Amino acid sequence: MRKRWILLAVVGLIGLAAVAWSAMASNVETPQYVVRSESGNLEIREYGPTIVAEATVEGARDKAIQRGFRIIADYIFGNNLSSAKVAMTAPVIQQSNEKIAMTAPVTQQARGRSWIVRFVMPSKYTIETLPKPVNPQVALIEVPAARFAVIRFSGFAGQGSLDEHEAQLRAFMMERDLTATREPQYAFYNAPWTLPFMRRNEIMIEIAGK
């Protein structure tokens, strides 16, 4: 009986931690966008220009995002020429490197290739005022305004889940005659310990037109 109560207490603490993280995450700056159309968890969004810190890493998708996260986190936590800390934002964005032309199925292109991992920088900065990285693996990039088709979902974002939701997103795009202009981006908004039902994951595909 005692072990049962201990187990329940641990589960309760984990739940409280997840709720606390969710509350903190709601105060984290995220990129601003305008929803032009929606259907359930599928949307067409317009984003304004942003600045990102990005790192390009090799390997499997799940390992690549961990390495890329550490590289960029090191930069925003003070490993820069000003030794300044940059506020954390959400989401963390992962995208297959586009140096190979989009001629094969996406699932094939993503395997055995490098990945771009990005943090969106707080909107108060310009490219001139951001601290300059010490690590040459970190690049500061100005990203122009763009339109995206987006699907939002919770749970663990394993490869099977990503593939399933990407198929739904592409079907949504096909129904509306929308043309992809870049590789899909995977956007993750939560800490690794967040309970599955509280997670926010997105697949974003940039589309042509206005």
Reported as a single tens digit per residue, the pLDDT across 166-200 is 999 999 999 999 999 988 999 888 877 788 999 88
Total number of domains in the chain: 1
Torsion sign over Cα 145, 32, 46, 105: positive
Q: Is the pLDDT of residue 107 over 90?
A: no
pLDDT of amino acid 207: 96
Higher pLDDT, 207 or 76: 207
| H-run or E-run covering 36 | strand 33-39
Q: How far apart are CA 55 and CA 185, in angstroms?
A: 14
Please give the radius of gyration of the chain, using alpha carbons only, rounded to the nearest integer: 18
Helices (H) and strands (E) in the chain, counts: 4, 9
> Domain holding 12: CATH number?
3.20.80.10
Domain range enclosing 79? 2-207
Whole-model pTM over 0.75: yes
Reported as a single tens digit per residue, the pLDDT across 28-63 is 788 899 999 999 999 999 999 999 888 888 888 888
